[in-house]
């Protein structure tokens, strides 16, 4: 195996894992809210309509695990934790915005393309 091939496979695997987290019901919405300036847990909970505390906590942990979000505990008498996008998280949000631009540019082609069902 060529050295670059292993790197390519590793980077694709990491990309698929990150996209798996982001493509959940809440992942991208939370990233967008953090990108938009909501950094505290309660702010995020109010901004992401319909999410439970448990699901917000779980999704934030998954985003942290994949190095898309960083968590900062101020360690004050009144608990205060802030969430910020990492460099990778910011780059991913920008990439998703580019994908949205691509879809708007090609919307007519995408809407009129025949639906293909593999194996049929």
Q: What is the pLDDT of residues 81-110, one digit of tens each?
A: 999 999 999 999 999 999 999 999 998 888
pLDDT of residue 34: 97
Report the DSSP beta bridge partners of residue 81: 73
At a CB cut-off of 8 Å and minimum separation 6, what does 84 contact?
34, 39, 69, 70, 72
The stretches of the chain forming alpha helices (DSSP H) are 3-22, 27-35, 41-47, 53-65, 87-105, 107-112
Mean pLDDT, residues 24-38 taken together: 95
pLDDT of residue 14: 84
Q: What is the pLDDT of residues 41-84, one digit of tens each?
A: 999 999 999 999 999 999 999 999 999 999 999 899 988 999 99
CATH class of 20-112: mainly alpha
Instruction: Assess contact for 60 and 18: CB atoms under 8 A.
Output: no
- Cα 76 to Cα 109: distance, rounded to the nearest angstrom: 54
pLDDT of residue 120: 60
């Amino acid at each position: 195996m060529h050295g670059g091939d292993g790197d390519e496979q590793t980077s694709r695997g990491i990309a698929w894992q990150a996209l798996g987290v982001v493509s959940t019901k809440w992942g991208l919405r939370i990233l967008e809210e953090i990108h938009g300036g909501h950094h505290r847990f309660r702010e995020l909970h109010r901004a992401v309509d319909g999410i439970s505390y448990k699901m917000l906590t779980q999704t934030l942990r998954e985003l942290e695990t994949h190095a898309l979000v960083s968590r900062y505990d101020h360690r004050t008498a009144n608990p205060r934790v802030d969430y910020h996008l990492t460099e990778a998280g910011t780059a991913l949000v920008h990439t998703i915005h580019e994908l949205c631009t691509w879809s708007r540019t090609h919307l007519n082609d995408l809407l009129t393309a025949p639906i293909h069902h593999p194996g049929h």
